[in-house]
Amino acid sequence: MSEPFQPENLIAMLRPLAAAMPLSAAEQAYRRFYGFAANDAAHSLLGVRQIAGYQIALQAWWPQKPRATLVLLHGYYDHSGLYRHVIEWALGMGFAVLTFDLPGHGLSSGPRASIGDFAEYQAVLQGVLAEAAALELPQPWHLCGQSTGGAILIDYLLTGAPGPEIGESILLAPLVRPRAWTWSQLSYKVMRNFVSEIPRRFSVNSNDLDFIDFVEHRDPLQPRSLPTAWVGALSRWVPRIEAAPRSSRSPLIIQGEADMTVAWQYNLEVLQDKFAAPQILRLGEARHHLANEAPALRQRYFDFLSQRLA
């Protein structure tokens, strides 16, 4: 991670994605700050599109001869700048990469870390997939989601009728229910009448302590509160997704057994019921933020994925 940049200045000067090449000085500073100084991309874009009522920040990378595409969805409180390890792995696999900041996250518009309904995430994902088609990104389009990004993909796979252009789906510590969900629901029902947000509590959700320190103390794009509206949207989404019909698709699921963020044992049971023979890799020492786990743990699941996407 490099010298700080000014998010407000960058957001104000973001260009439409189709006209966003080459990178501006502010965009290059953003990329350096999050460690993207060098990778296997032959060229890349950073820009915005109006999608589902939001100004969504998108980024794309192409290797010299891409053979497929990885569409990457980040987790709650996250943004695309934190996902360089996954992006670099994908480029090394010969994939083009398309990623975007969810509404209310990173460089995208919207109330910080909030959403009115999880259906909005589906509308944004559909718009992003339309952008993948407009950019003529090579098929198949593999999908990868961390935590809430995984929840969005689960919803899409179960209810969105993915077409033949969709390849494999990768779920990193996917969210169905968070840990202590019953208590969270009770707290929400009480708090929603009195407060619109509560202060965020940062957790040690990775064995990479440099990452933990960066997120809490040095990342200017980190939300600092938990909106009760988002918890309400999640509380409506969980029963809907648990009642969704079964899918014939078989996602690749990576789950850490030291995950203290999601109810991972319960979630795996749900996913094994919802999907046809999902392939699951369980990592005993891994915590929740698999995209930024310690290097040895990342390598274990990258090897697992590389064998299946070769």
CA 297 to chain centroid: 19
Which has the closest alpha carbon to 148: 233, 214, 56, 67? 233
pLDDT tens-place string over residues 259-302: 999 999 999 999 999 999 999 999 999 999 999 999 999 999 99
Identify the pLDDT of residue 299: 98
Identify the pLDDT of residue 185: 72
DSSP codes of every residue in 70-134: EEEE--TT--GGG-HHHHHHHHHTTEEEEEEPPTTSTTS-SSTT--S-THHHHHHHHHHHHHHHH
Question: What domains sit in the chain, N to C, each tagged with a CATH number?
Answer: 7-308 (3.40.50.1820)
d(CA 69, CA 137): 6
The one-letter amino acid code at 102 reads: L
SS3 240: helix
Identify the pLDDT of residue 41: 77
- Max CA separation in the chain (angstroms): 55
Query: What is the mean pLDDT for each group of 10 consecutive residues in the chain (310 residues)?
Result: 74 88 89 84 91 98 96 98 97 97 98 98 98 97 98 97 96 95 71 84 97 97 95 95 97 98 98 97 98 98 98
Identify the pLDDT of residue 183: 67
- What are the DSSP E strand ranges found in 182-289? 197-199, 225-227, 252-256, 279-283
d(CA 42, CA 47): 17
SS3 198: strand
d(CA 25, CA 156): 36
**Burial of 24 from C-beta contacts in 10 A (0-12 / 13-18 / 19+):** middle
Residue 169 DSSP code: E
Q: Which residue has the tokens 């919207």?
A: 110
CA dihedral sign of residues 248, 254, 258, 260: negative
pLDDT tens-place string over residues 176-209: 999 988 767 767 676 777 889 999 999 999 999 9
d(CA 42, CA 101): 22
